[in-house]
Chain A
Amino acid sequence: MEFIKSETHFDFVGMMKMAVTCSLAVIIVGIASVIFHGGLNLGIDFAGGTLIQVKLKNDVPVENIRKALEPLGFERSIIQQFGPQEILIRTAELSANLNDLSGNINTAFDASLGKDAYDVRRVEVVGPKVGKDLTQKAIFAIIFSWIGILIYVGIRFEFRYALGGIIALVHDVLVAMTALSLTGKEFDLNIVAALLTIVGFSINDTIVIFDRIRENTRKNIRMTLFDCINLSVNQTLSRTILTSLTVFIVLLVLFFFGGAVIHDFAFTLLVGVLVGTYSTVFIASPIVLLFEKIKPSKAKGK
């Protein structure tokens, strides 16, 4: 079986202007959405606060849950459905007495819901100090991994390729964050892991094409870089589609069957894989060309 029977000759580089316009538009929408929502919807990992996950025997109206939380001072929590008969209670409040929180939760729920009607499955409390720390560490981890990629690609290829790759993956992360902001998903440590996966996937995809471009420029010295890039993207097209499709299948399964905790993670990755594939074809390679126009490389000048 083959998705793409014979050699294709799409003019991907010619579509560059349109692609860049599209991407910019999406990113601007994303920034607008973040501003409109008053920043990202930060989870307790970064903002600090308390999260309680409760499984209920029977359906309980949200109002009753809210009432049950009153003695804890958590009545202004965000209460959301989290899978069947399971709820997630989130609040920016920190219990004054961390030591007795689990005990207090049990007392409060015993009184209002009945002793065996619920099961507290997860309690997470993150103090503001730790939240700040985790944010800092996550940002450091991402930036350092980018620098690492920049250096490696810069050594193995050329610096302009490294820049093209980095711009493409920053693009992917921004678009994924746009999707997160538009859907109102919570931004927590798991999502950071997802964004990092997108980075890995995107750079993987980009390098495959860069590798082809490198090979083709050596083989056909007379060919312009414009044609060379087009040829390379077309030659690797079937591989790009095939790989993205398989990863997409795996992620779809995780999205539907992976359970509530993995759900948002998989969602972010689904967006990331789509965008990553798009950016590889339409953003990364043309950027290499753009740098070529600004400053022609010596190797091609011969």
Chain B
Amino acid sequence: MVRLIAFLVGVFFSGMLLIGLGDTIIGAIKEPAVPTAEHEFHKMPLAEKFPHDGPLGKYDKGQLQRGLKVYAEVCSACHSLKLVSFRDFAALGYDEEQVKAIAKGWKTEVPSINPETGEPATRPGIPADRIPSPFPNEVAARAANNNALPPDLSLITKARANGPAYVYSLLIGYEETQPAELLKKFPDAKTPDGLHYNPYFANLNIAMAAPLAADDQVTYDDGTKATKAQMAKDVAAFLTWTAEPKMENRKSAGWAALGFLIIFTVLAWMSYKSIWADKKH
């Protein structure tokens, strides 16, 4: 009885799937999938290497400091970094005084209240503060950005596939005009007004205008030449750090754990062999 019912259920499910298979194939022949501009012109991120890649990779503190400068002077005009505190910048190689100075000198002040009247007010940042956001709320952010919402960047490199390379590619990937081939093939896919063509962005048209418009937009303190590619790479590295601040602890703990486990496993292997030595199996 069980086998009879099973047989009928099997015939039903498999049969419906095979009918569905025929239906899918007929459907694909009758109405072949329409190619889209996104499908054909979207590019995968460039294969850019970073010093923190790989199991032995470490952050380059000089690069993170440069990236912070790019974020502070360019990105932070629109993008928040809500999960990071000023105190965290100690990990970039700044000492306590420098962290205090960065917090105090940040161009957006920290929301607060007037201690006498209780009215909303702002005050200079201190190391314990989170990085203040450029807009008080989502409505204000959208209002200032043509109804687009600049995403928080704290986790952006983990929230996109191949994140660091994606951020880098997106920042240098803007194209002044759409490829002629695209417009020829997809006349309707013209970039709408107010958007910007960028083949690394999922739907090709991004609301953000090219933020790194020219070389030397940021003046680096360490004398590095601030080309667009250099700035893009530095800020991508910085945003990797904001998303994964404990990466170096993680990798060094990983090596210690692996070392321990390899010794453990070798010893376990030897005791296994010795215990079974006289037992054929």
A and B interact physically: no
**A: which residues have CB within 8 A of B?**
none
**B: which residues have CB within 8 A of A?**
none
